[in-house]
Amino acid sequence: MTAKVKLVNYTSDAKDLLLFTKNTRLFDSDDSMSVIKDWSEEKKQEELDYMLKTIKSSWEFIDYTFVLSGVSRGFTHQFVRTRQASYAQQSLRVVSKEGFDYVVPERLKQVENFEALKLYRQAMENINEFYEKLLDMKVPVEDARGILPTNICTKIVAKFNLRTLHETAKSRLSPRAQHEMRQTFKMMVDEVVKVHPWAKPFLTPTEWSAPSMSRSLNEEKFKS
């Protein structure tokens, strides 16, 4: 199953609201929003460029709500670690998943991994068969779910403000991120840019180099 991302709600007139909240401390007038609306696009762009380098608190006034479907539970386990965002996820405790869809890792789709892919798909079919047998035996859904795989497809609703989206994009769009995470987050950014083209510079990856897992483990070994 292919992951899908849909932007279902977002802050309207976001650019002017962003500039308004940033400049509130500078204006004495109660009608400062009208002043900002009268600014030229060039002036607004100058302000946005400045905000990229300095003031980020105003970014928190701009919200985006997404529906992500066809993503794996393994993906969502990582995804919800961004605690400044808000989430609501499909429950395996109440939703029966006979004949479930699942995500196939990109590396398994490569030609040289043909036998591994066969084994992977067979394992998924076996799990589905055993899951359905448990349900036929009147085992409650909330108990039968214990054998479901990490890569079973799920659906999740997520709300980010622009600041959280900006901070998360730094790592989630990095080449170091797992393929499913990078691909799905790119779709989220693409959805935002469709409605707010000016936001693209706010949502770019940062060059960074995380230590490898083996290196981290070795360092812990020496500490102990």
Res. 165 pLDDT band, cuts 50 70 90: very high
Question: 172 forms bridges with which residues in the sheet?
Answer: none
Residue-wise pLDDT tens digits, 71-115: 999 999 999 987 789 999 999 988 999 999 999 999 898 878 899
Asked whether the beta carbons of 122 and 138 are under 8 A apart, the reply is no
- What does pLDDT average to over the chain? 87
Res. 29 pLDDT band, cuts 50 70 90: low
Asked whether the beta carbons of 24 and 61 are under 8 A apart, the reply is no
Asked whether the beta carbons of 192 and 7 are under 8 A apart, the reply is yes
The answer on pLDDT for 186 being more than 50 is: yes
Res. 23 pLDDT band, cuts 50 70 90: confident
Catalytic residue status for 172: yes
Pull the structure tokens for residue 25.
């401390």
Say how far apart CA 169 and CA 150 lie, in whole Å. 24
Pull the structure tokens for residue 147.
């054998």
- What is the DSSP code string of 141-194? HHHHGGG--TTBEEEEEEEEEHHHHHHHHHHHTSTTS-HHHHHHHHHHHHHHHH
Asked whether the beta carbons of 174 and 208 are under 8 A apart, the reply is yes
Q: Which amino acid is at 146?
A: G
Residue-range domains of the chain with CATH: 4-69+154-215 (3.30.1360.170), 97-151 (no CATH)
Q: Of 107, 121, 145, 172, which one is the catalytic site residue?
A: 172
pTM confidence score: 0.83
The answer on pLDDT for 14 being more than 80 is: yes
The answer on pLDDT for 137 being more than 50 is: yes
Residue-wise pLDDT tens digits, 38-53: 889 899 889 888 888 8
Pull the structure tokens for residue 160.
């980010």
